[in-house]
A and B are shown apart, each in its own frame.
Chain A
Amino acid sequence: MIIATLALITLAAAPWWAGRADLRLMGEIFLYLSLACLWNLMAGYAGLVSVGQQAFVGFGGYMLFALTIFGGLHPIPAILIGGLLAAALSVPVAVLIFRLRGAYFAIGTWVVAEVFRLSFAQVSSLGGGSGSSLPVDVVRSLADSRSGREALAYWLALGAAVIVIAAIYAFLRTRRGLALTAIRDSEVAASGLGIDIWRTKLEVYVVTSAFTAIIGGLIFLQKLRISPDAAFSVNDWTAFVIFIVVIGGIGTLEGPILGTLLFFALRETLADFGTVYLIALGVVAIVVMLKAPKGVWGLIRDRFDLELFPLSYRVRVRDTEK
C-alpha cells in the first residue's frame, strides 16, 4: 500500500522529471492500460469476447470533436458527456448483438464497429472520410502553454487509469462483482444460484462501453486529430488490447497491468522492425494461449501464490481440536 502510494506520487510528478517524449509514451501506456482493464472485465469476467471495442473508442473520440466544435463545450466535460452518450447507445447495441452466441458475438461487435466507422465517415461536417483536427481555440482552452497541455493530458491519462483500475477492483469486491466472478467461473452454476446472467452482462457491457468512450476521448485529446480509419482501427484499439490481456493473463486484475508493461517493452525494443514485431506479437499471443492460458501473471501466481489485488476467497482450516 505504501509502495503503491509512493509510486503514484512519483508518477503524478512525472511532468517535472520526465522528458516530453517519455511523458507522451507514459500517457499512452496509461490509456492502453485502461483499455486493457476494461476489455478484460468484459471478456475475462463477463465472457463477452468483443473484437469491436474500437466502436466506442472512436465514438468517444468523435464526441470530443463534435461537442467541442459544435457544442462549444470545454474538452473535459465533452469527454465525460461522450461517455454518457456511449452508455445510452450501448444499450440498443447490446440488445441486438447479445442474440449472437459466443464467437459470433465477437464478429457481431465488429460489424457494429464498422457501422460506426462508415456512419462517421458520412458526416461531412466532421471531415467525412479524411477526418479533421481539433481547432486551435479548443486546444488553447485546456492550457495556455504547450507544456501545460501535455502535462494535463498526461494527468488525465494517469487519472483515468487509476480510476478504471480502482473502479473495477471496488466493483469486483461488491455483491455484483462476486456474481460476475461466479459467471466467469461457471455460467451454468451461476445461473443455478439465481444470478441474472443476461442482466449482469448487460451492465458490464454498458459500463465498459462508457469508460471505453471516455478513454477514446482522452486518446484523441492527446492526438488532436481524428479520422474514421484511425478512430475505428481494429488493430490499434482491439488487437493490441487483446494481446496485452492474453499475454498478461485474462480474467485477473493484475494480468492487464503486467501485459501492458510487457507490450510496451516489446514495442519499444522491436518497433524498428515494423511488421515483424506484429508477427512476433501474434506468435507470442498464440503460444501463451496454448501453453499458459492464464498468461504470464497466471504463471507467477501459481509459482509464488501472490496476489496484488486481494479478490479471491480461501478456505482456511483452523486447528481447534488440540
Chain B
Amino acid sequence: MIEWTNAVVQGVLLGGLYALFAAGLSLIFGVMRLVNIAHGDLIVLAAYFGLTTTVMLGIHPFVALLIVMPLMAGFGYVLQRGLLNRTLGDDILPPLLVTFGLSVIIQNVLLEAYTADPQKLSGGAIETASVQLGGLALGVLPLLTFGIAVAVIAFLQWLFYATSLGRGFRAVSDNQQIAQLMGFNKAHIFGLAMALALAVTAIAGILLGMRTSFDPSVGGGRLIFGFEAVIIGGLGNLWGTLAGGVILGVAQTIGAKIDPGWQLLAGHVAFLVVLAFRSNGLFPRINH
C-alpha cells in the first residue's frame, strides 16, 4: 500500500514539472492562438544554456536562472517579433510549419554545438536530499519543483487578471482588431507574451536538466507532455493545466509501478481517455 501511495505522491510532484512544460504553451495559445511545435526544443535549449552558464561560471543551476531567464525572454521577444508574428492569421498552416521548421533547426544547432552525448546539470547536494514524511521519502528537488510550479502558475494568474499587462494580453486574446483600436500594440504584446512564456520555459529547462539527463533529441517528448497536460486540464485554464500535469504524472508513475515499460504509455492512455470522454478537458476555461 505504501508503495502505491509513494507512486502517487511521486507522480504528483512529477506533475509539477509537466505543468511547467505546459504553462508556456498554454500562455501563448491563450494570448495569440499560436501552438508552438518548437516548445519542447526551447525547453531543451534553456537546459543547454543552463549547462553552459553553470560550467563556464561555476555557479549553481538556480543561480544560472538569473542569466538564462532574461536570455530566453529576450530570445522569445525577438523570435516573436522577427518571425512568428508574420505567421499569425486565419490560416493555421504557417505558424505550425514555421515552428516545426524551427524545432528541426534548434535540434540540429544543439547537436552541432553540444553533440548527441547526454548531459546533466549538477545541482549538488539538493539532488539527493530528501525529507521523511509519514514513511515516505520525498526528494527535496521534486518538492521544490512542485512548489515552483505552483508559484509560477499563481504568478501568471495574478499577472493575467490583476495587472495592466495582463489586461493587454486578455484584450488581444479576445479580439485582436478591437484591441488594436483601443491603442494596444498587438505585435509588442505578442512579443511580451512570448518573452514571458520563454522565461517560464527557462525555469522548466533548468529543472528538467537537474532532474534527468538530456540530449538534443528529447524536445519532442517534452512538447507532448506539456501538450497533454494542457488538454487534460482544459484549454485556457492555468490551474487546470497544473491539475493536468499532476494527472499525467500520476498516470506515468502508476504505469511504471506496474511495469517499467508502461510509464510513458500509461500517460498517453490517460490523455486519450480524457480526450474520449471529456474532450474539452477536465476543467475547461472559466469565464471571468
A residues sitting closer than 8 Å to B (CB atoms) are: 43, 49, 51, 96-97, 99-100, 102-104, 106-108, 110-111, 114-115, 118-119, 121-122, 234-235, 239, 242-243, 246, 250, 275-276, 278-279, 281-283, 285-286, 289-290, 293
Query: Which listed residue (A51, A104, A246, A282) contacts B231, Cβ 8 A?
Result: A104
Which of B63-71, B106-114, B158-166, B194-202 is near enough to bind chain A? B106-114
The 10 A-B pairs with the shortest beta carbon distances in the complex, nearest first, are A103-B35, A282-B105, A99-B279, A275-B108, A282-B104, A102-B92, A282-B101, A286-B101, A285-B101, A278-B108
Task: State A234–B41 Cα separation when bound (angstroms).
Answer: 14
CB distance from B220 to the nearest CB of A (A): 6
Query: Which listed residue (B92, B108, B227, B271) contacts A49, Cβ 8 A?
Result: B92
Q: When the two chains form their complex, are residues B109 and A279 in contact, meaning their CB atoms are under 8 A apart? A: yes
What B residues does A239 contact at CB under 8 A?
100, 104
The prevalent SS among residues of B at the interface is helix
Task: State A279–B113 Cα separation when bound (angstroms).
Answer: 12
What B residues does A99 contact at CB under 8 A?
275, 279
The answer, yes or no, to whether B118 is at the interface (CB within 8 Å) is no
The prevalent SS among residues of A at the interface is helix
Task: State A279–B110 Cα separation when bound (angstroms).
Answer: 10
Q: When the two chains form their complex, are residues A100 and B231 in contact, meaning their CB atoms are under 8 A apart? A: yes
CB distance from B92 to the nearest CB of A (A): 4
The answer, yes or no, to whether B183 is at the interface (CB within 8 Å) is no
Q: When the two chains form their complex, are residues A115 and B269 in contact, meaning their CB atoms are under 8 A apart? A: yes
30 contacts between A and B (CB under 8 A): A49-B92, A51-B100, A102-B92, A103-B34, A104-B35, A107-B35, A107-B37, A107-B227, A111-B271, A111-B272, A115-B272, A118-B268, A122-B261, A234-B220, A239-B104, A242-B97, A275-B108, A275-B109, A275-B111, A276-B112, A279-B108, A279-B109, A282-B101, A282-B102, A285-B97, A285-B100, A285-B101, A286-B102, A290-B94, A293-B93
Task: Output the nearest chain A residue to B228 by Cβ-Cβ distance.
Answer: A111
Task: State A52–B11 Cα separation when bound (angstroms).
Answer: 27
The answer, yes or no, to whether B125 is at the interface (CB within 8 Å) is no
Q: When the two chains form their complex, are residues B265 and A115 in contact, meaning their CB atoms are under 8 A apart? A: yes
Q: When the two chains form their complex, are residues A275 and B112 in contact, meaning their CB atoms are under 8 A apart? A: yes
What A residues does B59 contact at CB under 8 A?
none
The answer, yes or no, to whether B143 is at the interface (CB within 8 Å) is no
Most buried by B among A108, A250, A282: A282
**Given A104-B227, A276-B112, A289-B97, are A283 and B35 also a contact pair (CB < 8 Å)?**
no
The answer, yes or no, to whether B264 is at the interface (CB within 8 Å) is yes
Query: Which listed residue (B105, B111, B112) contacts A283, Cβ 8 A?
Result: B105
**Given A119-B265, A283-B105, are A102 and B35 also a contact pair (CB < 8 Å)?**
yes
What A residues does B37 contact at CB under 8 A?
51, 103, 106-107
Task: Output the nearest chain A residue to B86 by Cβ-Cβ distance.
Answer: A290
**Given A119-B265, A279-B108, A279-B112, are A293 and B101 also a contact pair (CB < 8 Å)?**
no
Q: When the two chains form their complex, are residues A289 and B108 in contact, meaning their CB atoms are under 8 A apart? A: no
The answer, yes or no, to whether B95 is at the interface (CB within 8 Å) is yes
Task: State A239–B107 Cα separation when bound (angstroms).
Answer: 12
Task: State A119–B223 Cα separation when bound (angstroms).
Answer: 20
What A residues does B112 contact at CB under 8 A?
275-276, 279
What A residues does B282 contact at CB under 8 A?
none
CB distance from B248 to the nearest CB of A (A): 11
The answer, yes or no, to whether B136 is at the interface (CB within 8 Å) is no
What B residues does A110 contact at CB under 8 A?
220, 224
What B residues does A283 contact at CB under 8 A?
101, 105
**Given A103-B35, A286-B102, are A111 and B224 also a contact pair (CB < 8 Å)?**
yes
Interface residue ranges of B255-288 to A (CB < 8 Å): 261-262, 264-265, 268-269, 271-272, 275-276, 279
What B residues does A114 contact at CB under 8 A?
221, 224, 264, 268
Task: State A283–B103 Cα separation when bound (angstroms).
Answer: 11
CB distance from A155 to the nearest CB of B (A): 33
Query: Which listed residue (B83, B93, B220, B271) contacts A286, Cβ 8 A?
Result: B83
Most buried by B among A110, A121, A279: A279
CB distance from A222 to the nearest CB of B (A): 24
CB distance from B69 to the nearest CB of A (A): 26
**Given A49-B96, A118-B268, A293-B94, are A106 and B101 also a contact pair (CB < 8 Å)?**
no
